[in-house]
Amino acid sequence: MNYEKSVIELIKMRVSTRTYDPREIQVETLHQFEKYLEVINQKTTIKARFVLAKGIGNGEKKLGTYGFITGAQSYIIGLIDQTEKDAVTFGFLFEELVLAATDLNLQTCWMGGTFKKSDFESQLTLLKNERIAIISPIGYKKNKQRVLETAMRGLVGADKRKSWETLFFNETLDVALDKNDAGHYAVPIEMVRLGPSASNKQPWRLIKWSEGYHFYLSRTKGYGVTGFDMQLNDIGIAMCHFEISALELGLKGCWQKQATTELKNDWVYINSWVCGEEA
């Protein structure tokens, strides 16, 4: 995906927005986003697709988002086949679209469980076995936040991120990864730390090894497994941030599964970034 702005700056710029100006997205901006959407749908290798539903907030029936979103007129909707289990790739692709919206000075908000799927499904033509996994409003931010939005950000700790020493490790869990030891990869790793996640659980864990970085999911017990696995989706976001920022910095590498053991009962090995390797 080729953005106009630096992807590192886009990751820093993006915030979850719940209060929108109801004006329509400018036509030129809308066309640009639809081009991004086409790129993502062409490159996906999983049974999923992404659509832009325009103007579905209008009319007599208000789409259900449990009161968290107001003013939004358009939504990015991520659809996935009932048999598709690759929530990691799905999260990676959806985050690319979120950053594309940010590139166009549009606001978004990841939503997995805080909306009524039936309301949105009635506005779409779903393929057989297809269902909605994730949505995001897309549009312009209203200048003045509602009290509810401010309260929501405080409730989920949206502006708080876990520290390096609790997320990133050097060879062993006994040694926290120092930014100096990460070298040029300190920036992509920081972009992982800044990523959005369901209920701000920040379930990603990285371990530096001799050839790169292992990515693990530190599962929140009993969270996000029913139906679409939100925490695997979060790891996809982390991997997206890591890869696109690394590539922007000219750091070559690719994802390769490694023969590694589970480190904790609540940690699940996901994938490894091998530095200097070509895909």
pLDDT score at 98: 98
Give residue-wise pLDDT tens across range 48-77. 999 999 877 554 345 656 558 889 999 999
Give residue-wise pLDDT tens across range 169-217. 999 899 999 999 999 999 999 999 999 999 899 999 999 999 999 999 9
Is residue 96 within 8 A of residue 1, CB to CB? The reply is yes
pLDDT score at 60: 38
Least-confidence region, from 103-107, 158-162, 187-191, 231-235 = 158-162
- pLDDT above 70: percentage of residues in the chain: 87
Closest by Cα among 134, 142, 113 to 19: 142
Q: What is the mean pLDDT of the chain?
A: 88
Distance CA 15, CA 199 (A): 14
Average pLDDT over every residue of 135-158: 66
Split at pLDDT 50, 70, 90, the class of 157 is very low
Average pLDDT over every residue of 102-116: 90
pLDDT score at 193: 98
Give residue-wise pLDDT tens across range 9-22. 999 999 999 999 99
pLDDT score at 202: 97
Q: Strand 168-170 relative to strand 130-141: parallel, antiparallel, unpaired?
A: unpaired
pLDDT score at 124: 87
Find where tokens 């990523």 sit.
195
Give residue-wise pLDDT tens across range 204-253. 999 999 999 999 999 988 776 567 899 999 999 999 999 999 999 999 99
Is residue 227 within 8 A of residue 83, CB to CB? The reply is no
Structural domains present in the chain: 7-151 (3.40.109.10), 164-275 (3.40.109.30)
pLDDT score at 65: 63
Split at pLDDT 50, 70, 90, the class of 153 is very low
Split at pLDDT 50, 70, 90, the class of 118 is confident
Instruction: Report which of residues 260 and 109 the model is more confident about.
Output: 109
